[in-house]
């Protein structure tokens, strides 16, 4: 289908029919991925495809060879599924696949390296630095308020805000059950409003504002029923909306993303100087009932089956 987001599934000739929908896996985001994959498979069936759902295991190459698909719809989330690892497997197997390729996936998942790309592209991002989990747990490595997050996880897994007046970093960092990597990103906390923009190919869709009654927009707020409220389009000055759309598209292209992505922002309207900061780009946006990218597509008249069909027909190898 190319990269034009305003094309519809029914307006072009389909290249693919039998689609392996990858879901699950073994990252901390397994449960969300199971939901995304099931929803995508149902939508693809409605769009006239033959989806084959695969709960990805470490024998994924054999699973894919047994399924013998025309293309792979990658609905995996988190480590191994969206960090370039599984994308490399698709390339080795010469299977067309959706979303971003090896390099873009790896860059976007590594938050500090993505920041370096943003800086080079003139995209504002909060100041941050990589420290060991031990150092982050031992005392303040940055003046509060700041954010501590795993450098290579998604869905706000393991994210903590250290606020002014807090005596020490969160105790969870010292837990023996911590499995989110030994390096963490410590980043200046940006107050204000939570915004997000989905990008389909060459088009930024719209701006959504996210609010939550919880402490902040964490994993629970993202995926629990009633955990957050999505306002779209966000009630913003026209100039802020246009800048947010522009920055999302620039972030997508600067990382080399393909297909669907989603950029997350903080908007500090009370700040002097720069008010809009890009937090990260998600190369595998969620496709659950509460997910943001499908909401934005629907707002612009693109149904969920049409969105999944567009993602599928954008699939290729050597991405």
Q: Where in the chain is the domain with CATH 3.40.50.20?
A: 9-99
> Nearest 5 degrees, angle CA 34-CA 35-CA 38?
85
Tell me, what's the pLDDT at 3? Answer: 46
Q: Where in the chain is the domain with CATH 3.30.470.20?
A: 107-125+191-299
Helix runs in 58-168, H state only:
60-67, 85-93, 102-109, 111-120, 133-138
Q: Residue for token digits 């919880």?
A: 214
The Cα–Cα gap between 102 and 295 comes to 27
In CATH, which superfamily holds the domain spanning 107-125+191-299? ATP-grasp fold, B domain (3.30.470.20)
Please identify every stretch of the chain with a pLDDT value under 70, giving residue numbers as ranges. Answer: 1-13, 153-157, 167-169, 171, 174, 176-177, 179-180, 213-227, 289
Which 8-state DSSP code applies to residue 96? -
Tell me, what's the pLDDT at 96? Answer: 98
Q: Where in the chain is the domain with CATH 3.30.1490?
A: 128-188
Tell me, what's the pLDDT at 9? Answer: 44
Catalytic residues: 29, 155, 223, 262, 264, 280, 282, 286
9-99: CATH class: alpha beta
The Cα–Cα gap between 227 and 60 comes to 33
The Cα–Cα gap between 217 and 155 comes to 10
Longest dimension (CA), the chain: 61
Helix, strand, coil shares, percent, the chain, to 5? 35, 25, 45
Tell me, what's the pLDDT at 221? Answer: 45
Pair type for strands 50-55 and 18-23 = parallel
Give the pTM: 0.87
Instruction: Say if domain 128-188 classifies as CATH 3.30.1490.
Output: yes
């Amino acid at each position: 289908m190319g990269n034009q987001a305003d094309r519809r599934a029914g307006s072009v000739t389909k290249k693919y029919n039998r689609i392996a929908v990858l879901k699950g896996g073994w990252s901390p985001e397994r449960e969300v991925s199971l939901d995304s994959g099931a929803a995508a498979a149902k939508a693809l069936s409605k769009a006239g495809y033959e989806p084959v759902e695969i709960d990805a295991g470490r024998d994924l190459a054999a699973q894919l060879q047994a399924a013998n698909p025309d293309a792979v719809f990658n609905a995996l989330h988190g480590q191994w599924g969206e960090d370039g690892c599984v994308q490399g497997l698709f390339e080795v197997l010469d299977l067309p696949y959706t979303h971003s390729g090896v390099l873009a996936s790896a860059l976007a998942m590594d938050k500090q390296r993505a920041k370096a790309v943003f800086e080079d592209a003139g995209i504002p991002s909060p100041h941050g630095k990589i420290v060991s989990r031990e150092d982050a747990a031992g005392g303040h490595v940055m003046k509060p308020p700041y954010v501590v997050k795993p450098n290579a996880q998604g869905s706000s897994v393991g994210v903590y805000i250290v606020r002014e007046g807090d005596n020490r970093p969160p105790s969870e960092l010292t837990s023996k059950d911590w499995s989110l990597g030994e390096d963490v990103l410590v980043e200046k906390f940006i107050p204000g409003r939570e915004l997000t923009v989905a990008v389909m190919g060459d088009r930024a869709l719209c701006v959504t504002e996210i609010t939550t009654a919880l402490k902040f927009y964490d994993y629970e707020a993202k995926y629990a029923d009633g955990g957050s409220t999505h306002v779209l389009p966000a009630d913003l000055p026209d100039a802020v909306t246009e800048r947010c759309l522009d920055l999302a598209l620039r972030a997508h292209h600067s990382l080399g993303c393909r297909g669907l992505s989603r950029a997350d922002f903080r908007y500090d309207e009370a700040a002097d100087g720069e008010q809009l900061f890009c937090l990260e780009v998600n190369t595998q946006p969620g496709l659950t009932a509460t997910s943001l990218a499908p909401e934005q597509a629907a707002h612009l008249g693109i149904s969920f089956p049409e969105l999944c069909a567009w993602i599928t027909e954008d699939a290729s190898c050597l991405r």
